[in-house]
Amino acid sequence: MSEMPVYNLYMGCSVPANYPNYEAAMIKVAEAFDIQLEYMEGVGCCGSPNLRSIDYMAWLTVNARTLAIAEKNGHDIVTPCNGCFGSLKDVYHFLKHDANHRKQVNTILKKEGLEFKGTITPRHFVEALYTDIGITEIQKKVTKPLDGVGIAIHYGCHLLRPADVTEFKREYLNELIEATGAKVIEYPIWKQCCGATVLPVDENLGIRLARDKLKSMKENGAEFVTVVCPACGNQLDLQQLGLKESYGEEYNLPVLLYPQILGLAIGMDEEEVGLSMNRVPAAPILDHLSG
Amino acid sequence: MAETKEPAGPPVTLTEPIEMSKLDVKFREEIHSMPNGEELSACFACSTCTAACPIANIWKYKPHQLIRMILLGMRDEVLSSDEIWLCLTCFQCQERCPQKVRVTDIFFDCKNLAAEEGKIPANIIGLAKELLEKGQLYTVTADWEREDMGLEPEVPGLSVDALKNILKETRTNKIVDSGE
């Protein structure tokens, strides 16, 4: 690689508060691949789909503001959260095509000396890894490949859809998992939502959706699960602990954030990727590392 | 010739007749002019959106019916429905629509109109209050966990004021005010 890629790192609110292991593993993986991540200054929560539901203008404005701040230094944004990615990418896409709303938003941003122009792209961390580093370079660094153990991927709705907005293909994540030596487990409801977004309105429904996914993954031979979003992580990992009581079912499916798996495969130890913070004990993954 | 049974009542699919006088003919234009509402009238009621929805089985009004109700002008029924708030925002309906109707986006538009009229589930008002007062949905409490991972205890560069200041001037402020 000729030049070290630099990105604006947009953390959002959930990863820093709930998943410091994800944040740290991502940063360490980035360092290993000579990717420079610079925490963005003066930004915070994206508002989530909840803000989009009740206050479209505010949701447009706050995300356009984040994009406009990144435009000042000219580097793309990367984020580890599907919710933040979905918000930023949707706003980016919408404002690029809608001159009327762009004008309205920029009138508000002008007070801070900011302007959304659409000159940088918001991206998910795993997409940047896939596109800018590439599978070949990633494989070169894998010193402790996984032994072909079956991992089911929950991609997350806002990473995949709307496809014309997110421009993410599920093959990216499949190949990223395969690059670590693991086997991707196909299961019928891979497209289905984890249920996170519906929790405030119907908690039981949200839990049922998470349970359905875990059941489908397990039935199709998954030994581990990977996610790239804190909300999906909460649903599949944390909620899994409650299923014994609500459904009388135990899945014992450890859920890892993708950078944790890649981190281990390139030689990091379990503490570096914060494995002890995962809710369903994830240490069994260590038995599948070879080399 | 086999004898056919007398039907016991109207077929189960038959719903109450729509009252024409209660229809709001401008509703379709209203949605049409909102973000990503342009393709609304392209719907030919194939109900692929409903087939794609993972939770339509528990909905009184299915996604394709909601779209039809918008086109017919059933504004009150749509904006008062639980379904628009139960939407997972998973975009499977929108993704599969052969007519490129942005179904999920249109439900977001409906929620915005419902919110403007104060028709919002209590827990969503709670989240609006959280965003307005704290400027984020999740706040770092276990900063020792961050330090254990070698991260700064406070998120570098974080500003909660940015969102708070925006929300003070917009609908969220009104929603939280009237919810109290």
**In angstroms, what is the C-alpha Rg of chain A?**
19
Q: What is the mean pLDDT of residues A141-153?
A: 98
pLDDT band at residue A141 under the 50/70/90 scheme: very high
**Euclidean distance between CA atoms A109 and A43, whole angstroms:** 13
CA distance B6 to chain A (A): 40
CATH of domain A139-288: 3.40.50.11810
CB pair distance less than 8 Å for B91 and A14:
no
Summarised one tens digit per residue, pLDDT across range A177-193 is 999 999 999 999 999 99
Interface test with A, best of B137, B145, B167 (most A CBs within 10 A): B137
The residue whose two tokens read 């692929």 is B48
| Homologous superfamily of B21-116 | Alpha-helical ferredoxin (1.10.1060.10)
Average pLDDT over residues A228-243: 97
Domain ranges of chain A: 6-124, 139-288
Cα(A85)–Cα(B7) distance, rounded to whole angstroms? 54
What's the CA gap between A91 and A96, in Å, rounded? Answer: 8
Q: Give the CA-trace dihedral at A288, A187, A256, A162, to 10 degrees.
A: 140
Residue B180's pLDDT is 73
pLDDT of residue B3: 56
Distance CA A44, CA A40 (A): 9
Question: pLDDT tens for residues A48-84?
Answer: 999 999 999 999 999 999 999 999 999 999 999 999 9
Task: Write out residues 116-175 of A within 8 Å (CB-CB) of B.
Answer: 157-158, 160-163
Contact B112, B31 (CB under 8 A): no
Q: How far is B94 from chain A (nearest CA, A)?
A: 7
Residue B116 has pLDDT above 70, yes or no: yes
In the predicted model, is pLDDT for residue B59 greater than 70?
A: yes
- A6-124 topology per CATH: Glutathione S-transferase Yfyf (Class Pi); Chain A, domain 2 (1.20.1050)
Q: Residue A17 is nearest to which of B86, B123, B139, comparing CB atoms?
A: B139
> What is the rounded average pLDDT for all residues in chain A?
97
| Cα distances (Å, whole numbers) of residue A238 to A84, A182, A217, A221, A258 | 20, 23, 16, 21, 17
Farthest-apart Cα atoms in chain B, separation: 84
Q: What is the reported pTM?
A: 0.95
Q: What CA–CA distances, in Å, run from B37 to A20, A251, B107, B117, B152?
A: 39, 42, 10, 19, 43
Q: What ipTM goes with this model?
A: 0.96
Q: Decide: A216 and A188 in contact? Cβ < 8 Å.
A: yes
The residue extents of the domains of chain B are 21-116, 122-179
Interface of B with A in 8-67 (CB under 8 A): 35-36, 54-55, 58
- pLDDT level of residue B172 (50, 70, 90 thresholds): very high
pLDDT band at A2 (very low <50, low <70, confident <90, very high): low
